[in-house]
Structure 1
């Protein structure tokens, strides 16, 4: 395969091969996902071969059919070009830096420009969740949350008060996620409840949906799979059309995978794929509380790993690592990379390669930015395979000891 081929072409081929289809079979599969009659199979097969060669990028007509055939989201397979983040958003948009924003808040000089600057600051903090160490970001998040609470004592009109409470809700969600990443479930649950209350007060479907998503996440990492489904359904009802509804669906699919309910898992994943495919591409995919199209592959990877679909899990892991790495000279989503590395470790262990399995497992544990409960839960899949297949191997035993060290704080 040529290195100068576009990424989408390479991925179409990799996803087809992971399913064990010939090009003709893949073309024929397209009929199941097309709302209209398609040309003869020979014609479709020739077009499929051309797509895999990187010729004639699929347009609006065929792109969603190909994505559905390969069980992914259209804008994940064919993402739009992205402009790099310069880090000057606040100054460029408002003419104020952080010091001036704080000075205005302290002086009770709260106007629309100041509120817009605070809004951009909150978005920036939520966008740093994936990369910044949680013990550093949590302090900044709590500090800004305190400032927003103090603003309620000032003279604000109705719209300003509602806006500040909504921003406080998003910050509460961020702080709660960071508390959970650090292993403090009690504090995280209290903060989640505060966010839920703020979401109800301002009538924000997004905040309400994410508060329920956090509940589903907590239940998933605790092994309460029925609780995941209950929280997911409640969250979907509250979230309306916000993108969090897709993540709520994904958490339910993960729970079904762990409950051994394969049919429910697959139908739930497809429901999430269809929902996400209908949404516009986000303006800021780095914000933790935005579900970007590439995250769908991350959800499916988890489910496939758990149910033993190793070839497709490997292909998805490679894709998750590719899109999560090397953006602006740093990894964009380190925690997704870690879970993809665990998945590759599980596949290697099942295929009999202990050295590679342990190597991937150690890379995941050594990742600088981690969520302790999530990593402990995902790594348990690798631990189970190692205990079953390599019970007396020193390398496996040593890795399991390392894993126990990160599981203790998450329990």
Structure 2
């Protein structure tokens, strides 16, 4: 029986579940969402505060929750306080282009409705959308399109400048954009293909360090080389080349130290923690993560390092330490602004945090929390057109649901979910094998022949080169 004042017409449990969906901004919105009278007037006014208000008062929110989104929730997405949101909504129009772009990116405001250009897009030409391949996985849009729109030069011109050491501020900006886009491509691009591209750029960028550069240029080149080394090392580990991955990780560490970038140093420690975790050296994860946290205590990498500690403690049977690590990570994440490009592999946003917490919850037996996070991860891994944008996260979330199904006695559902996870396209082999092995263990508690098809597929994956 619903209360008389329940205008949303939802039971309390359904209401909580709907509210949980708003812990982070919607992953993507259809253009129809913005086709309301209030939105049209807001975009025509060129006032971002009025767009905030139109967003909060959208009929969809009124239908789902019986009231508008509040300023505090919107502010949490944008890295603002409630008072700051109120000031923006009722004050003079924001003029800072970088700030406007950041708000537009977080709220997924369509370029064709804006009065300013987003990075890599233009109001004067149609947007370059990524497309889905035959496996329904997203394929990145041309990096040249992004580069030309942002800097006026394409990859060929950038390469020519790199080869001739014609490095100026435009070339450095173009290099920054190229490296960042490669890091954003990590989640869905074929690992071997991206690794080849990353290695090629890493070779070219490191050659530049021997040339005559200004101090600022030298630091920028070092930073880009460090990020490329991190990316290549992750990809090498994804495909099972642990020895090369460790060598590249150490290279990234040295580049980070030389450039004085604590973020790069922190991520190099995070990679080591990840290597130890997937190799089963759970105790070694803790000092590796602690070293990274000390190197970059206020960066988003520290959030992921706390998550790695939680994953290790859960496998060591230390639930109190698990909760302590998760609390530390969540507290830091809440202090950080929402990232401009959450798809970048080397940033942490609330969606990524839910993914990591899911793993720890599963291991310590908090099945309801693990299931909630897994379902949320799967929901956010697919865009409104049905294209999988985070196949690796989706696969591990499917395995989490499979483990929970096995614990509840539904071994057929567990095996089916597990097989789907192993056939999901883009993979990180060590992480996938670690979680799939946990499902295999759960299935074997019902007898050695249980889930035979899943186990056969898992063995094929283990034997694959």
Q: Is this a same-fold pair by TM over 0.5?
A: yes
Counterpart in the other structure of 1:240: 297
**Which whole-Å CA distance do the structure 2 matches of 1:340 and 1:61 have between them?**
26
**Which whole-Å CA distance do the structure 2 matches of 1:97 and 1:62 have between them?**
37
Q: Does 1:180 align with 2:192?
A: no
- Give unpaired runs (5+ residues) of structure 1: 17-49, 65-78
Q: Is the 8 A contact 2:206 2:225 kept in 1?
A: yes
Q: Is the 8 A contact 1:12 1:52 kept in 2?
A: no
- Give unpaired runs (5+ residues) of structure 2: 3-7, 21-61, 77-104, 111-119, 121-127, 129-140
Q: Is the 8 A contact 1:165 1:202 kept in 2?
A: yes
**Which whole-Å CA distance do the structure 2 matches of 1:151 and 1:62 have between them?**
43
**Which whole-Å CA distance do the structure 1 matches of 2:440 and 2:259 have between them?**
44
Q: CA deviation at 1:307?
A: 1.6
Q: Which SS does the other structure have where 2:350 is aligned?
A: coil
**Which whole-Å CA distance do the structure 2 matches of 1:112 and 1:136 have between them?**
29
Counterpart in the other structure of 1:166: 223
Alignment of 1:1-400 (within 5 A): 12-13=16-17, 53-60=65-72, 80-83=106-109, 86=128, 87=141, 88-326=145-383, 330-393=387-450, 396-400=451-455
**Which whole-Å CA distance do the structure 2 matches of 1:122 and 1:278 have between them?**
26
C-alpha offsets along residues 226-261 of structure 1, whole Å, 9 cap, x if unaligned? Answer: 111110100000113210000000000000111111
Matched pairs, number: 357
Summarize the Cα distance change of 1:296–1:99 in structure 2 as closer, same or farther, 3 Å threshold. Answer: same
Summarize the Cα distance change of 1:274–1:109 in structure 2 as closer, same or farther, 3 Å threshold. Answer: same
Summarize the Cα distance change of 1:61–1:168 in structure 2 as closer, same or farther, 3 Å threshold. Answer: closer
TM-score of the pair, normalised by structure 1: 0.81
**Which whole-Å CA distance do the structure 2 matches of 1:158 and 1:61 have between them?**
42
Summarize the Cα distance change of 1:327–1:137 in structure 2 as closer, same or farther, 3 Å threshold. Answer: farther
Q: Is the 8 A contact 2:416 2:454 kept in 1?
A: no
Q: Which has the higher contact order (CA 8 A, sep 6+)?
A: 1
Summarize the Cα distance change of 1:91–1:266 in structure 2 as closer, same or farther, 3 Å threshold. Answer: same
C-alpha offsets along residues 185-226 of structure 1, whole Å, 9 cap, x if unaligned? Answer: 000000000000001101111100000000000000011111
**Which whole-Å CA distance do the structure 2 matches of 1:249 and 1:278 have between them?**
15
C-alpha offsets along residues 309-334 of structure 1, whole Å, 9 cap, x if unaligned? Answer: 22221111110011111267632211
**Which whole-Å CA distance do the structure 2 matches of 1:404 and 1:347 have between them?**
21
Summarize the Cα distance change of 1:328–1:212 in structure 2 as closer, same or farther, 3 Å threshold. Answer: farther
**Which whole-Å CA distance do the structure 1 matches of 2:9 and 2:166 have between them?**
55
Q: CA deviation at 1:407?
A: 2.9
**Which whole-Å CA distance do the structure 1 matches of 2:17 and 2:218 have between them?**
53
Q: Is the 8 A contact 1:14 1:315 kept in 2?
A: no
Give RMSD over aligned pairs: 2.6
Summarize the Cα distance change of 1:201–1:328 in structure 2 as closer, same or farther, 3 Å threshold. Answer: farther
Q: Does 1:403 align with 2:449?
A: no
Summarize the Cα distance change of 1:63–1:313 in structure 2 as closer, same or farther, 3 Å threshold. Answer: farther
Summarize the Cα distance change of 1:329–1:392 in structure 2 as closer, same or farther, 3 Å threshold. Answer: closer
Q: Which SS does the other structure have where 1:389 is aligned?
A: coil
